[in-house]
């Protein structure tokens, strides 16, 4: 399987730029330059040939005048003056019959007299390349005639081919040098421009991708550079943001799934325990009733001759333990019941005060003061009043028990905030240790000594509140003990008794 982090085997953008743009441009420009140089070479060659022709024309008139007057010295001086021009390699004058009249420099030996005679007779002008003294030369022939048009001969002006070739080679070298410098300058400009405009932003974008790949998910690429690269950077950042959102959403879904599974497992556990508790309660109910009834009938027969007072005390103790077991059975039945009964609009204040009254005997027994606070009648909720009253009663009794045997204070309050009805019960006892805070609502979990609690009270409270769509929270009370808070949502269609009563 290929490594996703490895560099793909392909040419770089710079190399592609050179191969696909600069190189084809060089080929096209070079071809155009070659054609231009070739045209320039032809123009230079024609110009240098024209120079030879101009020299010949310049010599023609004085030579013709000197030959008409038969002045050989003047002819020689004219020919020598032509040689002083460095561009002239040789000067020759031929008579009408092709005979050599005067020669200076290196001419064109071996020219047939018949051809020279023909050029002199016909007045032809001719320029051509040939060889003189083992060197390539260019010669221009121009006929000479007197003022009456009679042929006097032919003038030959010769120039070395090397002069022409040197000029052409110099043009080629200069053109090649300029072309190379031009290509070098263009290449440098293109590559430098590529680095500044494209390479730099791409390097920064690649560095940003590397940082993200290494785990820096909060990093974002800069949007500098050309518009197209800036759009790529913006799209890259948008992709990272979308990925973060997707990952957050996925993590949230996973957390929700874990929490849902935990709640489902807890609900299944509670259902199993509730079913077991309900079955045990039903099985214990009848035997306990029989035991209590028999003990009560035996107590009615006392005093009986031969029976001491200790028997009566024992029977009273039996009935006391039976009542305690019946209380446990009721808790088991309440825990196993699960579902709530008929729900009706109920003023919260009245329901809470009834719960406080139900717990008042235990508070008086323990010398605990119960203080209440809240609007009356206050908000009204549609709920199973009997079961919710039972839940609040359990919390108040637990608070009284937490205060200990030396007395204490319990506060019970209710109000409405942000669409929720809140019922609080707090005490000044020792509070709940943080290490067991997550277990206090588990069935049969208790911190009381053996025989003083079943561990079902808070589990019953949690079940009743959860069946009403609410929740139970616990934290530290300003009094120093624990504070339990029941939060119930205000459902649509519920009324506010306080509002009705003005």
For the purposes of burial, counting CB atoms within 10 Å of the CB of 132, is it exposed (0-12), middle (13-18) or buried (19 or more)? buried
pLDDT band, residue 413 (cuts 50/70/90)? very high
pLDDT, one tens digit per residue, over 324-380 is 666 666 666 665 555 556 888 989 999 999 989 988 888 888 888 999 999 987 888
Contacts of 482 (CB under 8 A, 6+ apart): 399, 402, 426, 427, 429, 431, 432, 474, 475, 476
Assess whether pLDDT exceeds 80 at residue 89: no
Secondary structure of residue 448 in the 3-state scheme: coil
More confident residue, 330 or 94: 94
pLDDT, one tens digit per residue, over 246-279 is 888 888 889 888 888 877 876 676 666 666 666 6
Assess whether pLDDT exceeds 50 at residue 1: no
Q: In the prediction, which pLDDT does 277 show?
A: 61
- Comparing CA positions, the residue from 118, 117, 110 lying closest to residue 139 is 110
For the purposes of burial, counting CB atoms within 10 Å of the CB of 375, is it exposed (0-12), middle (13-18) or buried (19 or more)? middle
| Overall CATH class of domain 15-170 | alpha beta
How many Å apart are CA 78 and CA 157, to the nearest integer? Answer: 12
pLDDT, one tens digit per residue, over 105-117 is 765 555 555 666 6
pLDDT, one tens digit per residue, over 98-148 is 777 777 776 555 555 566 666 656 666 777 776 666 667 777 788 888 777
pLDDT, one tens digit per residue, over 431-469 is 888 777 667 777 666 666 555 556 667 777 888 888 888
Domain 338-500 has CATH 3.40.50.1820: no
Q: In the prediction, which pLDDT does 194 show?
A: 67
65 and 152 Cβ atoms separated by less than 8 Å: no
Check residue 148 and report its DSSP letter.
Answer: T
How many Å apart are CA 251 and CA 245, to the nearest integer? Answer: 10
Assess whether pLDDT exceeds 60 at residue 296: yes
Q: In the prediction, which pLDDT does 493 show?
A: 37
Assess whether pLDDT exceeds 50 at residue 501: no
Q: In the prediction, which pLDDT does 193 show?
A: 72
Q: In the prediction, which pLDDT does 492 show?
A: 36
Secondary structure of residue 439 in the 3-state scheme: coil
Q: In the prediction, which pLDDT does 353 show?
A: 92
Assess whether pLDDT exceeds 50 at residue 496: no
* Average confidence (pLDDT) over 222-245: 76
Assess whether pLDDT exceeds 90 at residue 487: yes
Structure-block tokens of residue 500: 């009705």
pLDDT, one tens digit per residue, over 415-427 is 988 889 999 999 9
Structure-block tokens of residue 491: 């459902």
E strands, 342-448, where?
Answer: 344-347, 368-373, 380-383, 408-417, 420-427
Q: In the prediction, which pLDDT does 133 show?
A: 62
């Amino acid at each position: 399987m290929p490594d996703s982090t490895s560099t793909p085997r392909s040419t770089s953008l710079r190399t592609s730029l050179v191969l696909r743009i600069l190189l084809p441009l060089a080929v096209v420009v070079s071809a155009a330059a070659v054609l231009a140089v070739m045209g320039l070479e032809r123009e230079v060659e024609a110009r240098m040939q024209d120079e030879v022709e101009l020299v010949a024309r310049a010599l023609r008139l004085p030579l013709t005048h000197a030959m008409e007057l038969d002045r050989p010295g003047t002819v020689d001086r004219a020919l020598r003056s032509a040689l002083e021009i460095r561009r002239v390699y040789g000067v020759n004058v031929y008579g009408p019959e092709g005979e050599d009249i005067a020669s200076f420099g290196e001419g064109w030996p071996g020219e047939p007299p018949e051809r020279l005679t023909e050029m002199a007779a016909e007045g032809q002008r001719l320029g051509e390349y040939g060889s003189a003294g083992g060197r390539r030369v260019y010669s221009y022939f121009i006929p000479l005639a007197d003022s009456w048009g009679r042929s006097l001969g032919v003038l030959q002006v010769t120039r070395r081919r090397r002069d022409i070739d040197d000029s052409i080679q110099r043009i080629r070298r200069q053109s090649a040098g300029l072309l190379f410098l031009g290509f070098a300058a263009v290449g440098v400009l293109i590559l430098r421009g590529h680095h500044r405009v494209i390479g730099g932003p791409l390097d920064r974008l690649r560095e940003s991708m590397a940082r993200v790949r290494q785990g820096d998910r909060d990093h974002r690429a800069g949007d500098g550079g050309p518009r197209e690269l800036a759009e790529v950077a913006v799209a890259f950042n948008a992709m990272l943001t979308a990925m973060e959102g997707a990952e957050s959403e996925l993590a949230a879904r996973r957390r929700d799934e874990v929490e849902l599974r935990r709640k489902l497992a807890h609900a299944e556990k509670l259902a199993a325990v509730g079913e077991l508790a309900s079955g045990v309660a039903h099985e214990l109910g009848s035997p306990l009733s029989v035991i209590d009834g028999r003990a009560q009938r035996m107590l009615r027969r006392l005093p009986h001759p031969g029976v001491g007072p200790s028997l009566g005390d024992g029977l009273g103790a039996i009935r006391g333990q039976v009542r305690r077991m019946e209380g446990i059975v009721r808790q088991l039945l309440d825990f196993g019941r699960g579902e709530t009964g008929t729900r009706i609009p109920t003023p919260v204040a009245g329901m809470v005060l009834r719960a406080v009254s139900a717990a008042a005997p235990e508070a008086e027994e323990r010398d605990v003061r119960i203080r209440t606070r809240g609007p009356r009648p206050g908000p009204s909720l549609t709920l199973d009043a009997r079961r919710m009253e039972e839940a609040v009663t359990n919390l108040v009794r637990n608070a009284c028990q937490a205060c200990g045997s030396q007395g204490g204070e319990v506060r019970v309050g209710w109000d409405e905030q942000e669409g929720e009805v809140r019922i609080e019960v707090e005490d000044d006892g020792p509070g709940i240790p943080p290490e067991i805070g997550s277990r206090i609502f588990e069935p049969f979990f208790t911190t009381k000594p053996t025989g003083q609690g079943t561990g079902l009270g808070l589990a019953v409270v949690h079940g009743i509140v959860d069946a009403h769509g609410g929740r139970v929270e616990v934290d530290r009370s300003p009094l120093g003990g624990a504070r339990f808070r029941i939060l119930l949502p205000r459902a649509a269609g519920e009324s506010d008794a306080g509002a009705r009563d003005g």
